[in-house]
A and B are shown apart, each in its own frame.
Chain A
Amino acid sequence: MAGHHIRAALFGAALAAGAIPALAQDGGKPDEVKVGITTFLTGPASVFGVPARDAAEMIIARMNENGGIGGVPIQASFIDEGAGGEALTAEFRRNVQDGADVMLAAISSGNCTQLAPLAEDLEVINLMWDCGTQRIFEENDYKYVFRTQANATPEMLASVLYLLKQKPDFKTIAVVNQDYAWGRDSWDIFSTALKAMKPDVEVVGEFFPAFGAPDYSTEISRLSALRPDVILSTSWGGDLDTFVRQAAQRGLTQQSTFVLPLAESSLERLGSALPEGVIVGARGDHYFQHPEMVGQADFDTFVKDFKDKTGSYPIYSVFHMAQAFAALDAAYEKAIEANDGQWPSKDQLVAAFEGLEFQAYGRPISIREDNQGVEAQLLGTTTSSDMPFKTLADIMIFDGGPLTAPVGEESVEWVGGLTPAFVDEIKPTTFQ
Chain B
Amino acid sequence: MNAQLFILALFDGVAYAALVFMVAVGLTLIFGVLRVLNVAHGSLYAIGAYVTVSAGSAIIAAGYSPVLAFPLMLVAAILVGVVLGGLMEKLLLSRIYDRPEVLQLLVTFAVFMMLEDVQRLVWGNQPYFQSAAVNLLGNVELFGVFYTSYQLIFLPLVALATLIGLRLFLRRTLTGKLITAVTEDREAAQFIGINAERVYLLTFIAGAALAGLGGALASPTTSVLPGIGTEMIVLSFAVVATAGLGQIEGAAVAALLIGLGRSFAVYLYPELQVLVPYLIMLLVLLVRPEGLFGSPAARKI
Hey, which bits of chain A sit against chain B, CB under 8 A? 42-44, 46-47, 50, 179, 205-210, 212-215, 217-219, 221-222, 224-225, 237-239, 241-242, 245-246, 249-252, 269, 273
**B273, closest chain A residue (CB):** A209
Q: Looking at the assembled complex, report how far the CB atom of A92 sits from the nearest CB atom of chain B, in whole angstroms.
A: 22
Q: Which residues of B contact A239 (CB under 8 A)?
A: 223
Q: Determine if A44 and B267 form an interchain contact, defined as CB atoms under 8 angstroms apart.
A: no
Q: Which residues of B contact A218 (CB under 8 A)?
A: 9, 12-13, 16, 262-263, 266-267, 273
Q: Determine if B273 and A225 form an interchain contact, defined as CB atoms under 8 angstroms apart.
A: no
A219 to B227, CA, bound (A): 21
B127 contacts which of A207, A225, A237 (Cβ < 8 Å)? A237
Q: Does B171 contact A (CB under 8 A)?
A: no
Q: Determine if A217 and B274 form an interchain contact, defined as CB atoms under 8 angstroms apart.
A: no
A214 to B46, CA, bound (A): 12
Q: Which residues of B contact A250 (CB under 8 A)?
A: 139, 145-148
**B230, closest chain A residue (CB):** A212
B262-275 CB contact bits vs A (8 Å, 1 = yes)?
11001100110110
Q: Which residues of A contact B19 (CB under 8 A)?
A: 215
Q: Looking at the assembled complex, report how far the CB atom of A374 sits from the nearest CB atom of chain B, in whole angstroms.
A: 32
Interface residues of B in 72-125 (CB under 8 A from A): 120, 125
Name 5 extra pairs, CB < 8 A, besides A212-B231, A214-B231, A214-B232. Answer: A179-B274, A208-B270, A218-B273, A238-B225, A252-B146
Hey, which bits of chain B sit against chain A, CB under 8 A? 4-5, 8-9, 11-13, 15-16, 19, 120, 125-127, 129, 131, 134-135, 139, 143-148, 151, 218, 221-223, 225-228, 231-232, 262-263, 266-267, 270-271, 273-274
Q: Determine if A214 and B12 form an interchain contact, defined as CB atoms under 8 angstroms apart.
A: no
A44 to B225, CA, bound (A): 8
A221 contacts which of B8, B231, B232, B271 (Cβ < 8 Å)? B8
Given known A46-B125, A214-B231, A217-B151, contact A208–B271 (CB-CB < 8 A)? yes
The 3 closest A-B pairs by CB, nearest first: A238-B127, A224-B145, A46-B125
- How many A-B pairs fall under 8 Å by CB? 113
Max chain A Cβ within 10 angstroms of own Cβ: one of B5, B147, B148, B225 = B225
Q: Determine if A249 and B148 form an interchain contact, defined as CB atoms under 8 angstroms apart.
A: yes
Q: Looking at the assembled complex, report how far the CB atom of A105 sits from the nearest CB atom of chain B, in whole angstroms.
A: 20
Max chain B Cβ within 10 angstroms of own Cβ: one of A179, A212, A215 = A215
Q: Determine if A206 and B270 form an interchain contact, defined as CB atoms under 8 angstroms apart.
A: yes
Q: Which residues of B contact A208 (CB under 8 A)?
A: 270-271
Q: Which residues of A contact B274 (CB under 8 A)?
A: 179, 209-210
Q: Which residues of A contact B146 (CB under 8 A)?
A: 224, 250-252
Given known A212-B231, A217-B12, A218-B267, contact A238–B143 (CB-CB < 8 A)? no
Sample 26 A-B pairs with CB under 8 A, ordered by A number: A43-B227, A179-B274, A209-B273, A212-B227, A214-B221, A214-B223, A214-B231, A215-B16, A215-B19, A219-B270, A221-B9, A221-B145, A222-B267, A224-B144, A225-B143, A237-B127, A238-B127, A238-B225, A239-B223, A241-B223, A242-B222, A242-B223, A249-B139, A250-B145, A250-B148, A252-B146
**A219, closest chain B residue (CB):** B266
A43 to B125, CA, bound (A): 7
Q: Which residues of A contact B145 (CB under 8 A)?
A: 221, 224-225, 250
A273 contacts which of B8, B129, B148, B271 (Cβ < 8 Å)? B129
Q: Determine if A245 and B223 form an interchain contact, defined as CB atoms under 8 angstroms apart.
A: yes
Q: Which residues of B contact A222 (CB under 8 A)?
A: 8, 266-267
Q: Which residues of A contact B144 (CB under 8 A)?
A: 224-225
Q: Determine if B270 and A207 form an interchain contact, defined as CB atoms under 8 angstroms apart.
A: yes
Q: Which residues of A contact B270 (CB under 8 A)?
A: 205-208, 219
Q: Determine if B225 and A221 form an interchain contact, defined as CB atoms under 8 angstroms apart.
A: no
Q: Determine if A225 and B223 form an interchain contact, defined as CB atoms under 8 angstroms apart.
A: no
Q: Looking at the assembled complex, report how far the CB atom of B170 sits from the nearest CB atom of chain A, in whole angstroms.
A: 30
A225 contacts which of B4, B222, B231, B232 (Cβ < 8 Å)? B4
Q: Determine if B222 and A47 form an interchain contact, defined as CB atoms under 8 angstroms apart.
A: no
Q: Which residues of A contact B232 (CB under 8 A)?
A: 214
Q: Which residues of B contact A249 (CB under 8 A)?
A: 131, 134-135, 139, 148
A206 to B273, CA, bound (A): 12
Q: Looking at the assembled complex, report how far the CB atom of A181 sits from the nearest CB atom of chain B, in whole angstroms.
A: 15
Q: Determine if A225 and B5 form an interchain contact, defined as CB atoms under 8 angstroms apart.
A: yes
A376 to B238, CA, bound (A): 47
Q: Looking at the assembled complex, report how far the CB atom of B11 sits from the nearest CB atom of chain A, in whole angstroms.
A: 8
Q: Which residues of A contact B271 (CB under 8 A)?
A: 208
Q: Looking at the assembled complex, report how far the CB atom of B45 sits from the nearest CB atom of chain A, in whole angstroms.
A: 11
Given known A224-B145, A225-B143, contact A47–B135 (CB-CB < 8 A)? no
Q: Determine if B148 and A42 form an interchain contact, defined as CB atoms under 8 angstroms apart.
A: no
A44 to B146, CA, bound (A): 30
Given known A208-B270, A218-B16, contact A241–B262 (CB-CB < 8 A)? no
A214 to B16, CA, bound (A): 11
A249 to B135, CA, bound (A): 7
Q: Which residues of B contact A179 (CB under 8 A)?
A: 274
A47 contacts which of B127, B218, B227, B267 (Cβ < 8 Å)? B127
A172 to B271, CA, bound (A): 20
Q: Determine if A241 and B8 form an interchain contact, defined as CB atoms under 8 angstroms apart.
A: no
**A214, closest chain B residue (CB):** B222
A252 to B139, CA, bound (A): 12
